[in-house]
Structure 1
Amino acid sequence: MQGFKFFAPGMARGVMRGVAHVVAGVAVAALVAPAFAGGSDQLKAFASQVKTARGNFEQRQVKPGQNGAVKVASTSSGTFEFSRPGRFVWRYVKPYDQLLQADGEKLYIYDKDLNQVTIRKLGDSLGASPAAILFGSNDIEKNFNLKDSGTKNGIEWLELTPKAKDTQFQRVGIGFKDGNLAAMELYDAFGNVTLLTFSNIQKNPPLPADHFKFVTPKGADVIQG
């Protein structure tokens, strides 16, 4: 999992390093409502209407280059499923096969190459992390300040800043297009930026709670966080 910034800064090759800082995951779904006046209205509709979803994602970690250019440091892709609040499967397929899975109480991080599982308590950190936008309750404004930030490349954007002072993220950009949540931009406290785009969205598919039960692979080392 090349540097998935929704969890912590500087995670090269996996989400193992620093996962204790932000315990959560990410995914996205299409809205069922028609076009809205602004991104904040669409986000609120997403939180209240979309309870489950599945789809594909592409993740890019970028760094500023010369003359204002943006350099892509790494790219990864995979699939996701979620059932709010607090249940999800976020699987990296390329360039590495790794898995993050939560059952509503615990977060499981599986590195296939190492055959190692790290287990963390999901706890209250979901509510204060960017993942709460997608996996948490619909009380987004309890943890974030929302501000519409206009249209860019046909996508209506809004900016969220966490109300808590001890989070790993300074701000989160969320983009909607034609009523669908299409992209996210994550800006962490270390100046790193992670871009997420989503495709092949299915909204509100049947995903029972036991679908998110993690089964430890045979012979895997288990580390309790």
Structure 2
Amino acid sequence: MKKSIGLIFAAALFALTPMSLYAQDSSKTAQDSANTAQDNSKTAKDSSKTAKDSSKTAQDSSKTAKDSSKTAQDSSKTGSNPKSYASVSSLIANAMHAAKDDRAIETSKGGIVADDARVYVDAVQAYYDAAKTFSASFDQSFETVDGVKKASSGVVWFKKPGLMRWDYEKPESRFLLSDGSFFWSWEPVYRQFCKQNLATSQLPTALTFLAGTGRIEDDFSIKLGTVKGDQVELLLTPLTPSLAFESIRFDILMPTAKVYRVTIYDAMGNINKITFKSPEINAPLDDASFKFVPPADAKQICD
């Protein structure tokens, strides 16, 4: 399985998800867990009236409820804090380890491409195989399973081999960057950054075609979606499911075969939609734009 920019872009899929929304989800899940535990405690106490053995079960369940409630309160405090970046980074790190385990059982045969999708898949692949650089502005909309929405926008650049940069301009300044050896994320508002070694990262590959380092069908089964004139949908299902995505939809524009929108559906039911505007390939890009030196007052919160 090819790595390079494909893994970098996959890392971006994790980082592109708004951190505060992940924290809110974590808080809600913890609170639900506490409520469930309290209900279990009540049921156990009722059972103790009819059986002596149930009394011990009730006490254990009550203790579990208290512990779960305390965990929920702690988690809720973390989730409500907009600066709780470190705890969310731990969530992402756990997902990365899960993805590493998933890759061990991944098939090398590749996915299945539906006959009516073949011509479009080949056209998209050829377009990005020819790209030495890729740049575009983008709009991103992220919606949680609970309907919470967040919009952002910025500019993205890719350069072979292994260089990437996402510059967010709204709602606040931040960026994600790969210098070919490390993956960086920097949020100047909080003076915090993450640094991850690409050589040891084992994230699921996604959108490897964007830098021409892999083939879409190596990692996905592909079906044809809606076709409206020159606008075509490709529906991708990963051969190896992950927390980052259960399915992806490419919206492409023919006859150029440019992918102008990517919609990512993750395992939690969230929807992450990225629309590329004015994409350009093979424009000159300076390698210096893909380097980052943390400021002296910056705090590293994950690695």
Question: What TM-score comes out, normalization by structure 1 length?
Answer: 0.76
Deviation at 1:41, TM superposition (A): 2.3
The alignment partner of 1:7 has SS state of helix
Task: Tell me: CA distance 1:80–1:194, structure 2 relative to 1, closer, same or farther (3 Å).
Answer: same
SS at match of 2:213: coil
Structure 1 residue aligned with 2:14: 7
- Which residue matches 2:120? 39
Partner of 1:188: 266
CA distance in 1, matches of 2:264, 2:171: 21
Distance in 2 (CA, whole Å) between partners of 1:91 and 1:6 is 14
Structure with the larger RCO, 1 or 2 (CA within 8 Å, 6+ apart): 1
Q: How much does 1:120 deviate?
A: 1.1
TM-score (norm 2): 0.58
Bigger shift: residues 43-52 or 101-110? 43-52
Q: 1:118 to 1:63 in 2, by over 3 A?
A: closer
1:58-87 Cα deviation digits (max 9, x unpaired)? 00113579xxxxx67111101111113431
What is the correspondence of 1:97-112 to structure 2 with a 5 Å cutoff? 97-112=173-188
Displacement of 1:210:
4.1
Q: CA RMSD in A?
A: 3.2
1:145 correspondence with 2:221: yes
- Say whether 1:162 aligns with 2:238: yes
Taking only the aligned residue pairs, the percentage that are identical comes to: 27
Tell me the distance in 2 between the aligned counterparts of 1:22 and 1:136: 23
Residue 92 of structure 1 aligns with which residue? 168
Greater CA drift, 47-56 or 149-158: 149-158
Match of 2:65 in 1: none
Rate the CA distance shift 1:136–1:87 in 2: closer, same or farther, 3 A. farther
The code of the aligned residue for 1:137 comes to T
141-150 or 74-83: bigger deviation: 141-150
Name stretches of at least 5 consecutive residues in structure 2 with no aligned partner: 1-10, 22-82, 98-116
Q: Can you give the 5+ residue segments of structure 1 that lack an aligned partner in the other structure?
A: 24-35, 66-70
The letter of the residue matching 2:238 is P
Residue 131 of structure 2 is matched in structure 1 by 50
Q: Distance in 2 between matches of 1:177 and 1:149?
A: 13
Greater helix percent: which structure? 2
3-state SS, counterpart of residue 165 of structure 1: coil
Instruction: Verify the 8 A CA contact 1:5 1:186 in the aligned structure 2.
Output: no
**Deviation digits for residues 6-51 of structure 1 (CA, Å, limit 9, x no counterpart):** 116662279873443359xxxxxxxxxxxx9843123212331122
Paired amino acid for 2:282:
N
Match of 1:211 among 289, 292, 296: 289
Paired with 1:76 and 1:105, the residues of 2 have a C-alpha distance of 27
Aligned residues: 205
Q: d(CA) in 2 for partners of 1:161 and 1:86?
A: 25
Which structure would you say has the larger Rg?
A: 2
